[in-house]
Structure 1
């Protein structure tokens, strides 16, 4: 029991570190800067993408996993934006100039763009859990 819990904690820490680092570097590459909250958001999102597939034994089509992950990430992004950008006035991002935006914190174009990244995150998370930690081998289905 202790060994299983220890293994799960290791998986979570690894996924948070990997997802946070990857997303932080993507932001640096495209925007020229980032914020530590984006590291956390990227890490939590990769962890979610990995475990949501594992919980369903990789039986769901990829498009359902992507929709679930997009809704999860968009919810986190909205909450993070309200806290950091509106309440604390840190000003990490502002989507007010984007179409189909809500309070300047989320917008449809970025939801669509993130869906591609989330597809990669689902695959990466599944492969890491299987290849590094010996979890169930993921089988990705389009339909």
Structure 2
């Protein structure tokens, strides 16, 4: 609460001393987030990352189910990591054109898919996906067509994130 000092006293009376007394000013209260820390009372950075990871994992899983009719637990990890990267790019490059941000995000998602694909498909031999028949594939884990799809999908996601950020 901001406090200012004001002159208070008996105006015009002889022998009275003028004193400084605090005047209370009201300050605007910040809105509490839906998800806030029980210790600090606000949405701290770790909680924000957890929410991004959860939303990304669920969203990515839904996209997989809609596109292929099935998903795998590893796709939830890829989705969580991808949305954290998308949010990071959006925060780090807010003034860049949306197409540049979408290209950076698509490259990050492709790198995440490659890393998870190498672990899940090559090391653990789970055979979750195989792009060996696709043009321009790299070790059957990533291909240019799906990188382009990620680019297209990042455009509306970045627009929604920017709109949400401007409202908060």
State the TM-score, normalized to the length of structure 2. Answer: 0.70
Would you tell me which structure has more helix in proportion to its own residues?
Answer: 1
- Cα deviation for residue 55 of structure 1 reads 2.1
- Cα deviation for residue 87 of structure 1 reads 1.0
**Alignment root-mean-square deviation, CA:** 2.0
8 Å CA contact 1:66, 1:115 repeated in 2: yes
| C-alpha distance in 2 between matches for 1:106 and 1:5 | 39
Q: Which residue of 1 aligns with 2:149?
A: 113
Higher relative contact order (CA 8 A, sep 6+): 1
Q: Which residue of 1 aligns with 2:97?
A: 61
| C-alpha distance in 1 between matches for 2:132 and 2:41 | 46
| Unaligned residue ranges in structure 1 (runs of 5+) | 135-143
How many residues are paired up? 130
8 Å CA contact 1:50, 1:129 repeated in 2: no
- Cα deviation for residue 119 of structure 1 reads 1.6
- Cα deviation for residue 118 of structure 1 reads 1.6
State the secondary structure of the residue aligned to 1:102. Answer: coil
Q: Which residue of 2 aligns with 1:138?
A: none
8 Å CA contact 2:81, 2:112 repeated in 1: no
Q: Which residue of 2 aligns with 1:92?
A: 128
State the secondary structure of the residue aligned to 2:44. Answer: helix
State the secondary structure of the residue aligned to 2:153. Answer: helix
State the TM-score, normalized to the length of structure 1. Answer: 0.81
Q: Which residue of 2 aligns with 1:139?
A: none
| C-alpha distance in 1 between matches for 2:163 and 2:51 | 13
Higher CA-based Rg: 2
Matching of residues 2-41 of structure 1 within 5 Å: 3=40, 7-41=44-78
Would you tell me which structure has more strand in proportion to its own residues?
Answer: 2
